[in-house]
Amino acid sequence: MSPRRILSVPVLLIMLVGLFAAPTQAQSPAAASGKYAFYSYAGGTLVRAVGTTISSDLTAQSTIAGQRLPSTARSTTAAVEVKGLVDVGAIHTTTKARRAGTKGITMVSLARTANVNLLGGLIRAKAVETTNVTRGNPKRLTSTSSTRFVDLHIAGVHLPVNIPKNYRVQIPGVAVVVLNATATGTKDGVATSQGYALGVWLLRNRATAPVGSSIILNPTMSALSVPVPAPAPAVGGRAYGTHALIKATSRVRGEVGRSGEVSTPPIGTGGRVNKNRTADVNIPGVAHIGAVYSTTRATSSAHRGEVTNTSQIAGVNLFNGLITADAIGVRAHSRLVGTRFRADERMTFVNLKVAGVKIPVDVGRNTRINVANLGTVVINQRARTRNGNQIRGIYIRLLKPRGGLEAGAEIEVAVASTRIWR
């Protein structure tokens, strides 16, 4: 992963799925129309090791999401250590959303980290504070982020007194470092802002992390949607190719992010098809996936809404050939007219095999297969709620360790969901 990639606006937009996804969300707003929809988080440290399945997940994370105001979350961690990479003191994070005037909203996500020591002392600071602010009113949405450093030192690098935004330096032969990082953007009526204090990308192997691995300090993110017009429903959902939730130990959890993901803006896409493509996905020992192509199309007007989300995958190989397919595709669709809601799902595939057994093309919904030395595999998994639906082409939950993953790890392949808030 490069420093440029982590700052890209499309990456920020897909993080809205925690708010607009379906159907597993525990709560939904009582009335979506005419209200801002928001999602925001702040954290202390995040480590991603390229080519491995075990990483240090976001620490001291505080998250808010929804439409009800005010909303506040806080989190604290006494210290974090990832041997040879990260050693920091207390982390404090806060996320808040409140009304601004009679028709506006202000969101603030804040992360403070003390006694920073990265890469065995090559990067040090007494304290680092990152603030991310997003504002909305009937005329516009705005967002910004910035970082304040106290006594920052990077080995072999002369730093300016006031560090500019997205300031890039290099520790020769060791790492690329981006300081005071920020990226903002607006698309389909959603304003997004991402900021972090510093990002480190390794130029060579260090400790247990191979070249290309990353360390992010004080990651913050916010996303804010313009209010949906009062007579219209809010729409949502997502589609993606693969996703893995990793359980390593009771203290270490990681995540292999959703590939080729696209999310549905709450005001719809105006009937256009929004797309996302990924050429290849490789999780060593776990999954080798070919091209992923995901789409979303949605409309919202007075008392009517419609969403269609799809994910298509060319070539699937899980756990070194235990599960294979030439192609897999899923489609989730929902429609609301007045008070009448309808939803449907569809799955297609070519030459799908599980443990050497060919799966018939008319396989039933929620077909469970227990695979020896692996766990439970569910084909054509579907779920519905009163205002949403979801389909997963393949879902796996490991009952035994496999491919570097411990029991309890979950893998998804070809997922699509939709939702309409009445």
Length of the chain equals 422
Q: Looking at residue 49, what is its pLDDT?
A: 67
Distance (Å, rounded) from C-alpha 393 to C-alpha 90? 42
pLDDT the model gives residue 13: 33
Q: b or e along 41-52 (b: 16 or more beta carbons within 10 Å of the residue's beta carbon)?
A: bbbbbbbbbeeb
Transcribe 41-67 into DSSP letters: EE-SEEEE-TT-S---PPPS-EEEEES
Span 50-90, pLDDT tens digits: 555 445 567 788 888 777 889 999 999 888 888 888 999 99
Structural contact between residues 215 and 132, judged by C-beta atoms closer than 8 angstroms: no
Angle at 182 between CA 193 and CA 82, to 5 degrees: 100
Distance (Å) of CA 53 to CA 35, 97, 254 = 39, 34, 7
pLDDT value, residue 55: 53
The stretches in the chain having pLDDT less than 70 are: 1-34, 49-57, 246-257, 404
DSSP 360: P
pLDDT in tens, 144-186: 999 999 999 999 999 999 999 999 999 999 999 999 999 988 8
DSSP 28: -
Whole-Å CA distances, 374 to 59, 320, 324, 370, 410: 30, 12, 15, 8, 11
Q: Please give the Cα distance from 385 to 298 (Å, whole number).
A: 19
Q: What is the DSSP letter of 35?
A: S
On whether the CB atoms of residues 197 and 147 are closer than 8 A, the answer is yes
Instruction: Measure the CA–CA gap between 193 and 214, rounded to whole angstroms.
Output: 20
The pair of structure tokens assigned to 296 is 């979303």
Residue type at position 333: H
The pLDDT of residue 52: 54
Place of tokens 């443990």: 355
pTM over 0.75: no
Check residue 35 and give left, alpha or beta (phi > 0: left; psi -120 to 50: alpha): beta
Which H or E run contains 20? helix 17-20
Q: Nearest 5°: phi and psi at 106?
A: -130, 130
